[in-house]
């Protein structure tokens, strides 16, 4: 990989001769770059404002323990899309890790998502699947779903008040920094309850973690003679120096591209508190949710459990406490809030993308560039589709990039 990590000078000449500019080196951007380079033989320049490759999927070894930590929160790869699976396995092998989450409430630990084990433990009685269904149906009948006016009422109408108050109310209040009574019912479409003992978090056909870690996987995607990566370069500092009409795939924040002309879109962000603990095992699992509202963090990650096959120290472990809050102007955006006001702004930005950005040969993609919550496999799948339908026809035959936000 040809990467200039600390360019001392960025001039217009630096951008000459490239067939495609990719802004951002997350999975969407790198998928587009890799396809253009390997399938079409095009020269691609990837611009990354951070000092490392990979966007929020970046991982690194904690120096004291050597334990691989996902710097921007846990990333769990899973997909049922065979095309995506076949694509990613070109760059990495995967472990057989299956994600399982546990939830702590009032000093007791429960399996999660809600399943028959949780129901039996929480209500202190063994239920058959039919008995559990009848119990939840009775408790949720307090409110008709179609009459729900807010998130709290919607949740109660789906799972009943006891389970809502234990496993949804406090966690949601911490996530959104808002009383669930003040949150829109539209935030949740369903709250799954499994009436069996299955505690696997995802139901996808393919699941695992990259054997050598995320950073190694991402570096392999960019390791091609036709791809140059420049780290520590903000696209907006150099945009004026890029030759007019150069095809560009932009994966940064959509509102930032247009200088917030239609207002700032709302995001939630995350804060992380990392600690090396002098024990070989802190919590016995990779992720523990903390559902009590008085506990300030939403969950604790213990990263050694993501790779039990590795030879990590037996006397130290790394834990990361995760806090959720609304993003301020200088925070890293993680999850779109997607209020009605946000959706109105998004439509106005879509119109700008279809007019102004179209003229500049810009295509928007990824989580930030489309204001959509995308898991890794969804970002990769979207990038593959955009490459097939828009980017390759443009680079090969001159078909216009239409500036839209969808593949």
Catalytic pick among 271, 351, 373, 388: 373
Q: Check if 19 is active-site.
A: no
| Phi/psi at 121 (5° precision) | -65, -45
Catalytic pick among 49, 100, 200, 268: 268
Catalytic pick among 96, 130, 190, 330: 190
Tokens in use for 92? 């990495």
Residues 6+ apart with CB under 8 A from 130: 195
CA 9/CA 18 separation, integer angstroms: 18
Catalytic pick among 194, 304, 350, 367: 194
Instruction: List the one residue out of 376, 388, 407 whose CA is nearest residue 27.
Output: 376
Q: Check if 330 is active-site.
A: no
Instruction: List the one residue out of 231, 210, 320, 317 whose CA is nearest residue 270.
Output: 320
Catalytic pick among 71, 299, 350, 367: 299
Instruction: Provide the sign of the torsion angle of the four alpha carbons 399, 405, 406, 407, taken in this order.
Output: positive
Q: Is the peptide bond before 113 cis (omega within 30 degrees of 0)?
A: yes
Q: Check if 322 is active-site.
A: yes
Buried residues in 384-400 as b, exposed as e (16+ CB within 10 A): bebbeebbbebbeeeee
Catalytic pick among 35, 322, 350, 367: 322
Helix/strand/coil for 386: helix
Strands (E), 166-286: 206-208, 227-230, 248-250, 267-277
Q: Check if 373 is active-site.
A: yes
Catalytic pick among 131, 375, 402, 406: 375
Q: Check if 260 is active-site.
A: no
Q: Check if 375 is active-site.
A: yes
Distance of CA 89 to the CA centre of its chain: 20
Q: Check if 34 is active-site.
A: no
| Catalytic sites, residue numbers | 190, 194, 268, 299, 322, 373, 375
């Amino acid at each position: 990989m040809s990467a200039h990590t600390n360019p001392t000078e960025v001039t217009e000449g630096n951008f000459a001769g490239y067939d495609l500019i990719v802004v951002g080196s997350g999975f969407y951007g790198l998928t587009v770059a890799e396809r253009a380079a390997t399938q079409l033989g095009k020269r691609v320049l990837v611009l990354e404002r951070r000092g490392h490759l990979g966007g929020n999927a970046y991982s690194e070894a904690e120096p004291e323990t050597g334990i691989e930590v996902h710097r921007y929160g846990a990333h769990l790869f899973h997909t049922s899309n065979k095309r995506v699976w076949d694509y990613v396995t070109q760059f990495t092998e995967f472990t057989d890790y299956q994600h399982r989450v546990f939830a702590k409430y009032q000093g007791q630990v429960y399996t999660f998502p809600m399943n028959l084990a949780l129901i039996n433990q929480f209500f202190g009685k063994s239920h058959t699947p039919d008995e559990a269904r009848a119990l939840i149906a009775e408790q949720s009948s307090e409110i008709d779903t179609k009459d729900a006016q807010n998130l709290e009422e919607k949740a109660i109408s789906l799972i009943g008040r006891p389970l809502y108050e234990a496993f949804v109310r406090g966690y949601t209040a911490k996530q959104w920094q808002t009383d669930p009574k003040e949150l829109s019912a539209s935030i949740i479409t369903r709250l799954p309850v499994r009436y069996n003992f299955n505690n696997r978090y995802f139901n996808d056909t393919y699941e695992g973690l990259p054997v050598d870690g995320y950073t190694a996987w991402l570096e392999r995607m960019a390791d091609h003679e036709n791809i140059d990566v420049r780290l520590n370069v903000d696209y907006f500092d150099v945009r004026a120096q890029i030759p007019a009409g150069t095809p560009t795939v932009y994966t940064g924040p959509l509102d930032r591209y247009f200088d917030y002309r239609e207002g700032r879109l709302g995001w939630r962000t995350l804060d992380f508190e990392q600690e090396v603990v002098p024990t070989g095992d802190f919590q016995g699992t990779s992720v523990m949710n903390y559902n009590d509202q008085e506990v300030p963090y939403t969950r604790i990650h213990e990263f050694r459990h993501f790779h039990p096959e590795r030879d990590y120290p037996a006397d130290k472990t790394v834990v990361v406490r995760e806090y959720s809050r609304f993003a301020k102007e200088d925070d890293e955006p993680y999850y779109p809030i997607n209020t009605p006001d946000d959706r109105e702004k998004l439509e106005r930005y879509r119109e700008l993308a279809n007019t102004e950005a179209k003229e500049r040969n810009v295509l928007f993609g990824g989580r930030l560039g489309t204001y959509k919550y995308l898991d890794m496999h969804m970002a990769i799948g979207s990038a593959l589709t955009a490459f097939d339908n828009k980017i390759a026809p443009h680079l090969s035959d001159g078909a216009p990039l239409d500036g839209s936000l969808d593949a």
